[in-house]
Amino acid sequence: MEDDFPEQVSELLAFLEGGFPEGHPFGRIRVSPEMPGGPDVWMLGSSMWSAAAAVEFGLPYSFAHFFSPVHTRAAIETYRRNFTGSVYRSEAEATVAVGVICAETQEEAEFLSSSVRLLQRRIRLGDRRPVASPGDAVRELRLLGEMPMEEGEWPRYFVGTPSLVRGQLERMAGELGISELIVNTIVWEHAKRLRSYELLAGEFGLEG
């Protein structure tokens, strides 16, 4: 089956800009209500292919490191090296989406992270059950045994106290030469997820 992703991206950009060519079947469709401007479009991906697609369309690029940590550096560097500018960006703009779990203590953060560690194991096994509680995850992980070491320079998830995680994030961003990271937190309890974001925001002085 032919991959029509490039065509879909082109159509999305044309919808946002009102730029379908003459005679295109979607050319008569009008966005309602029609307003000036539009959302900032980014290319999100987790492979070298997505880096090439971001270059082809001249879009800013975000690499989903928390999903696939193997090619993070190579994808960002390839995108930057090949980007030549477009109507969307005159210069390359890249960021990385990382997993983070913060807690007041390292022990609690590690305990909370058992849920996402089990989720990763389950996904590899084709198991699509919901995120498990940390207690259930610890027990199931013991039954499954040790997980093979991940490839890649950095872990999918940075786990620990706010000060520890901040140092790790700043080192990663510095090595990749990016000024911004996107943080994704997966834990079982919603209140713990919010607390993780609060702790990290406080460490960076971003309290609302």
Number of independent structural domains in the chain: 2
Using an 8 Å Cβ cutoff, are 103 and 112 in contact? yes
- For residues 17 and 69, state if they share a domain: no
138 with 45, same domain: the answer is: yes
The answer to whether the pTM exceeds 0.75 is: yes
* CA pair distance 22, 78, nearest whole angstrom: 35
pLDDT tens figures, 108-140: 999 999 999 999 888 888 888 999 999 999 999
Average pLDDT (157-170) is 97
Q: What pLDDT is stored for residue 146 in this prediction? A: 67
Give the domain CATH number at 144: 3.20.20.30
144 pLDDT band, cuts 50/70/90, is: confident
- pLDDT tens-place string over residues 21-61: 777 777 777 777 777 777 889 999 999 999 999 999 999 99
Q: How far is CA 130 from CA 118, 134, 143, 146, in A?
A: 10, 12, 18, 21
| Average confidence (pLDDT) over 143-154 | 76
- Can you give the pLDDT at residue 151? 73
